[in-house]
């Protein structure tokens, strides 16, 4: 279902969905935060974050593009301008936004334009898309203090997010030998679930 939300002066258009959870635990979900991460092929990015303590849920999709409900084929063939993106729902009491960003810099080349690993094209650009303006300063300050020189990471409000097709969701769990540009060994044992 598509929705439009205005928050902190920004309009956010995207997809509403609910992961399986007990409705009695709704208060728990209210404290969780979401951040949208683009770092190349979304299969590896999703798998990486799904392994971290404090990450509650991940979904792959298409963000900050020019058409509604794009398909993988449209994004792949540049008929849509979306970035392959992972919605990361996390518990800030367990993992902070700065820690989420630290992990991002472990596997992404912050200087690469429209390319990560073997994947190239505008859909593979790097970006952090936020839904709370207070997060912007945290993200910008973190990158400015931890990346030398100019970097090629979009830091933008989330304009839209559409779920990718179901076969893309949890792809590397379903296909453990599938292609992945992200090195899972970058996660320390004490950081894993």
* Whether 180 is catalytic: no
Angle formed by the axes of helices 97-107 and 133-146, nearest 10°: 50
| Of the candidates 145, 70, 78, the residue with the CA atom closest to the CA atom of residue 110 | 145
Instruction: Indicate which residue of 38, 41, 108, 156 is catalytic.
Output: 41
Distance CA 106, CA 122 (A): 21
What are the catalytic residues? 41
């Amino acid at each position: 279902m598509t929705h439009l939300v205005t928050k902190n002066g920004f309009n956010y258009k995207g997809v509403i969905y609910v992961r399986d959870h007990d409705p009695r635990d709704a208060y728990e979900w209210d404290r969780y935060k979401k951040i949208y991460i683009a770092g190349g092929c979304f299969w590896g990015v999703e798998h990486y974050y799904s392994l971290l303590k404090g990450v509650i849920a991940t979904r792959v999709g298409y963000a900050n593009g020019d058409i509604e409900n794009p398909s993988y084929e449209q994004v792949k063939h540049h008929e849509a301008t979306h970035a392959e993106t992972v919605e990361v729902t996390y518990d800030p009491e367990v993992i902070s936004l700065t820690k989420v960003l630290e992990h991002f810099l472990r596997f992404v080349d912050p200087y690469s334009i429209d390319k990560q690993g073997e994947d190239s094209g505008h859909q593979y650009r790097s970006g952090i898309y936020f839904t709370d303006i207070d997060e912007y300063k945290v993200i910008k300050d973190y990158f400015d203090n931890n990346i030398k020189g100019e970097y090629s990471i979009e830091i933008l409000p989330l304009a839209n997010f559409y779920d990718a097709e179901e076969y893309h969701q949890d792809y590397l769990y379903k296909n453990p030998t599938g292609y992945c540009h992200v090195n899972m060994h970058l996660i320390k044992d004490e950081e894993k679930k």
